[in-house]
Each structure stands twice: as structure tokens, then as C-alpha cells.
Structure 1
Amino acid sequence: MEGMLRPYDLGATQWYVLYHLAHDGPTMQRDLVQTLQVERATLSAIVSVLVRKGFVEQVSDRVDQRQKLLRMTAAGTKLWNELPDLAVIHDVAFDGIDDAAIAATIQVLQTATERLEKLTDRI
């Protein structure tokens, strides 16, 4: 997946953010934390990159200024329409695997990654 996205200067999680915005429309950033099962800080960093690249717009909620609504910009929509359809990779890789097993695997890998990142920060 990463290799297919390299020409577009996108990472896999950036692609997933764009995927959800393209398919679900404007979305609260906090909702993507749940959907993508990533840490809030991780998603904030990814969204910042997408905003800086001009693909995503981050708008403060009228009621609670701390909450951010994400929506794809015209440049983001143009990029999305040029990207290869990578959803088929997900379908092939995870076909027939129980959603709970996938969620558990994601949680284990995230925890392991976070622990390794903390270790390397101390070294």
C-alpha cells in the first residue's frame, strides 16, 4: 500500500483519513480517532500534515471550539480522484476475518508500537 501511495506523497493513515472524508463527508476529528483506532495525538499529527498539504480543512465547531470538523478541500477531492483504488487491498486481505479479531490485532499492534516509540525516545 505504501509503495502505491509514495508517488502521491501520502502515508497509509493519511489515505484512510481521505477515504473516510471522501465516503462519509465532513467528519468530526474525534470520530475519526474511534473509526481509525489511532491515538488522538497520532491523528492530530496526520491531520496537520493533510491540512498543510492543502487536502483537508479543519474547522472549529461553533459550540465547542476545541472540537474540529474535518472536510476535504477541492485539492483533496482532486487528489482523491487521482489515487488508485486501494480499498480492494483491504477487502482481499481481511475477507472472512471477524471484525473483533481485526480490532484486537490493531489494538495489540498499536500498543506494541507505542511502547517501542517510547523506548526509542529514551535512547
Structure 2
Amino acid sequence: MADKQADPHHESAGAWAKKYHLATRMMMESVLRPHDLGPTQWYVLYQLATVGPTSQRDMGLLLQVERATLTGVVAALVRKGLVEQTTDPADQRQKVLTITKAGKALWRKLPDPIALILETAFADESEADIATTARVLRTATGRLTEWLSKGDDA
């Protein structure tokens, strides 16, 4: 019997979820590259442009990225003049991120890579099929997250 893990034609939902994730990441990088931004930088700008100033600690939790990764992303955005990093007056140990005027100007000109991905990926799919896909993946992700939160002895 063939080993399904080694089968390049593996057709499980998980295999397709991974392929979709990788394809969306490549498309997002392609759309943002001309603007000298990466996907994580875009998500930081998205949060700051749509929600407002956010603590760097909260940003890491929202984006689910390692502290060191976010530090580099924020440093790049600060160097580009798109984000300002200040000390939180309530807790001097924490940093608050705010989008700058230049960041707002760029944000207004940026294409929305998420909208483009959704329009392209789901162009001929029914709303019902899209809703079912989202529900199934949300439920599966919740179950996996719950299992992981129980630890290795689950």
C-alpha cells in the first residue's frame, strides 16, 4: 500500500488547506512587492490604519508571530517612516505602534491583497459553498487548537 504522506497527489483537506495557504502567501507577496512591503508588514499597517494605535505586545498576539519576528518587521516599518514606535505612558516597558502620515498615504494607495485573493480564489463559488468551507475549517482549527491546549498528554 502506498504511503499517503509521500504521495504527491495527496488530496486531504489538510493538504489542500496548506496548498491554499502557500498560494495565498505567494499572491500576497507578489501584490505587495512593488510597494516594498511584506505580508506581515501589511498586516501591521492594516491593524494600525483600521483599528488605530496598538501595543507591540498585542500586535504580536493578533498576528501570531514571534516577538523577534515582529521586532524586525516593526523596525523596517519605522525605518521606512510608515510606523512610529513610542513608549506606552501606562507601562514604560511596553511600546505602542502608530501609523504615520506617510503610512496613511501609502495605505490609501495600496491594493487590498486579501480582497484580490478572495475575488480570484472564489470567483465562481457559491456563497453557500464558501460559508461551508469557512465553517469546516473554523471548526477543524478550533478542535486542533483545543487539542494542543491540552498538552502532549492528551
Q: Distance in 2 between matches of 1:100 and 1:17?
A: 26
Residues of 2 paired with 1:45 and 1:79: CA distance? 20
Partner of 1:48: 75
Pick one of 107, 110, 131 that aligns with 1:80. 107
Normalising by structure 2, we get a TM-score of: 0.61
Whichever residue aligns with residue 54 of structure 1, its letter is: G
Q: State the structure with bigger RCO (CA 8 A, min sep 6), 1 or 2.
A: 1
Distance 1:84 1:34 in 2: 25
Greater C-alpha radius of gyration: 2
Summarize the Cα distance change of 1:30–1:99 in structure 2 as closer, same or farther, 3 Å threshold: farther
Gaps of 5+ in 2: 1-27, 123-129, 146-154
Identity %: 56
Distance 1:14 1:63, change over 3 A: same
Structure 2 Cα separation of the partners of residues 80 and 74 of structure 1:
10
Question: What is the aligned-residue RMSD (CA, Å)?
Answer: 2.4
Between the aligned partners of 1:80 and 1:34, the Cα distance in structure 2 is 22
96, 117, 135: which is aligned to 1:69? Answer: 96
Alignment of 1:34-45 (within 5 A): 34-45=61-72
The residue number in structure 2 matching 1:4 is 31
Consecutive aligned runs of 4 or more in structure 1 exceeding 2 Å deviation: 89-105
Would you say 1:23 and 2:55 are equivalent positions? no
- Contact 2:32–2:113 (Cα < 8 Å) also in 1: no
> What is residue 40 of structure 2 aligned with on the other side?
13
Q: Is the 8 A contact 2:87 2:96 kept in 1?
A: yes
Opposite residue 97 of structure 2, the aligned amino acid is L
2:45 and 2:51 map into 1 onto residues whose CA distance is 10
